[in-house]
Amino acid sequence: MLLTRLSHYIDGTPHDSSSLWRMTDLVDMSSRPPPDAMLPRNEPMLRADAYAIWFRWFMEGLCNPLRYVEDETKTIIDVLADVLARVDALYSSEPQDERIAFAQKISQRIMLEVERHRQLKRVGASRAIKRDLVDAAGSEPRCWICGFKFSGQAVDRFLKKRKGIELDLPKFVDVLKPRGILSRDIRIEVDHIVPVAGGGGGKDNLALACGWCNKSKGARTSIYDADGRPPRSVYALGSVVWHELPHPFWTVRILATRARCEHAGGCSATVKNAELFIAPGDARGAPNPSNLHIYCAEHDPYAAHRFFGREVAKRIWDDRARAVA
Ligand SMILES: [Zn+2]
Ligand SMILES: [Zn+2]
């Protein structure tokens, strides 16, 4: 049954990408959503991230929370007046009591956003906050995204116990998640789980991350905030030649949402107790989000091949070019 649905879907999908620029073709494509289970990996995240963007655009398109942030005399009454006007215009044929109830619901959500933005002050990572974060991490402070275990030297540098410590760069770097090419990569940084630019504030929003994960995450929250195509570079993992690298933000997004080893036989390794690695689920598929898998060191099929000399890994990443359609 699934194959029948997939076959219909393939038949109805134009192979000519110029159709992506024709409105009639877009209308046709939008009437045929991809069948469930089309994507073997990460389908819930790939759908949820798309829906989350639609939802944000829907809410903010109705009424932009940033209109009320600066002027603190503006309250939910002001928001409601604006939202109601928009709802009346957009849904004029709906009963009035339903329009009012709907506008109230929307206004409450928008007001929450307004308040988040108002409170939003980047919690400067004071030494006390850093100390708290390290203490909360227990005996093995790790990156909350990839599970990389920080060295004692990195902890000392982070807490400024010793001034001017330069961290020792690793000799070998995981080519798929190239942490360690730059010294920032292996430092400890304070990550805003929800980026400040996206309304994240407060101490609960802070976590320890390695510099590589933190810089690769940036202010992005959705898989669609990153390029849709992987960077291109040619390299070999064992006997398999690869033509693309996993986009660093895909790696971060999938690691942070999976947070555990996905070995088919089951595994107790999580981001809290082990470093996790990204790899294509199948070497014949491209390293894109429908084919990327998380493994612990023990179950990683590329454990013997993914580590390259630092200079070689650097060259592979320096060589990358955006793939062209
Ligand atoms: Zn990390
Ligand atoms: Zn495992």
Quick one: which ligand is closest to 265's CA?
2
Closest CA to 177 of 275, 61, 71, 282: 275
- Which whole number is the average pLDDT over 142-155? 95
Q: How far is the CA of 299 from the centre of ligand 2 (A)?
A: 5
**pLDDT for 215-266, tens place per residue?**
999 989 899 999 898 999 999 999 999 999 999 999 999 999 999 999 999 9
What is the pTM (predicted TM-score) of this model? 0.87
Q: Residue 149's pLDDT is what?
A: 95
**% of the chain at pLDDT higher than 90:** 67
Query: With 80 as the cut, is the pLDDT of residue 200 above it?
Result: no
Query: With 60 as the cut, is the pLDDT of residue 141 above it?
Result: yes
Residues with CB under 5 A from ligand 1 (ion): 143, 145-146, 148, 210, 213
Query: With 60 as the cut, is the pLDDT of residue 50 above it?
Result: yes
Q: Which of 46-50, 120-124, 255-259, 286-290 has the lowest mean pLDDT?
A: 120-124
**CA pair distance 210, 99, nearest whole angstrom:** 48
Query: With 70 as the cut, is the pLDDT of residue 65 above it?
Result: yes
Q: How many C-beta atoms lie closer than 10 Å to residue 112's C-beta?
A: 13
* Residue 196: band (very low, low, confident or very high) from pLDDT cuts 50, 70, 90: low
Closest CA to 148 of 229, 238, 216: 216
Q: Residue 310's pLDDT is what?
A: 97
Q: How far is the CA of 297 from the centre of ligand 2 (A)?
A: 7
Q: Residue 205's pLDDT is what?
A: 82
Query: With 80 as the cut, is the pLDDT of residue 123 above it?
Result: no
Q: Residue 19's pLDDT is what?
A: 83
Quick one: which ligand is closest to 251's CA?
1
Q: Which residues pair with 190 in a beta bridge?
A: 208
Query: With 90 as the cut, is the pLDDT of residue 199 above it?
Result: no
Q: How far is the CA of 249 from the centre of ligand 1 (A)?
A: 12
Contacts of 203 (CB under 8 A, 6+ apart): 123, 129
Average pLDDT of the chain to the nearest whole number: 90
- Which whole number is the average pLDDT over 185-206? 79
**CA pair distance 116, 199, nearest whole angstrom:** 6
Three-state helix/strand/coil letters over the chain: CHHHHHHHHHHHCCCCHHHHHCHHHHHHHHCCCCCCCCCCCCHHHHHHHHHHHHHHHHHHHHCCCHHHHCCCCCCHHHHHHHHHHHHHHHCCCCCHHHHHHHHHHHHHHHHHHHHHHHHCCCCCCCHHHHHHHHHHCCCCCECCCCCCECCHHHHHHHCCCCCCCCCCCCCEEECCCCCCCCHHHHCEEEEECCCHHHCCCCHHHEEEEEHHHHHHHCCCCCHHHCCCCCEEEEEEECCEEEEECCCHHHHHHHHHHHCECCCCCCCCCECCCCCEEEEECCCCCCCCCCCEEEEECCCCCCCCCCEEEHHHHHHHHHCCEECCC
- Which whole number is the average pLDDT over 268-277? 96
Q: Residue 321's pLDDT is what?
A: 77
* Residue 118: band (very low, low, confident or very high) from pLDDT cuts 50, 70, 90: confident
Give the residue extent of every domain in the chain: 2-119, 136-325
Quick one: which ligand is closest to 149's CA?
1
**CA pair distance 78, 82, nearest whole angstrom:** 6
Q: How many C-beta atoms lie closer than 10 Å to residue 223's C-beta?
A: 23
Q: Residue 160's pLDDT is what?
A: 84
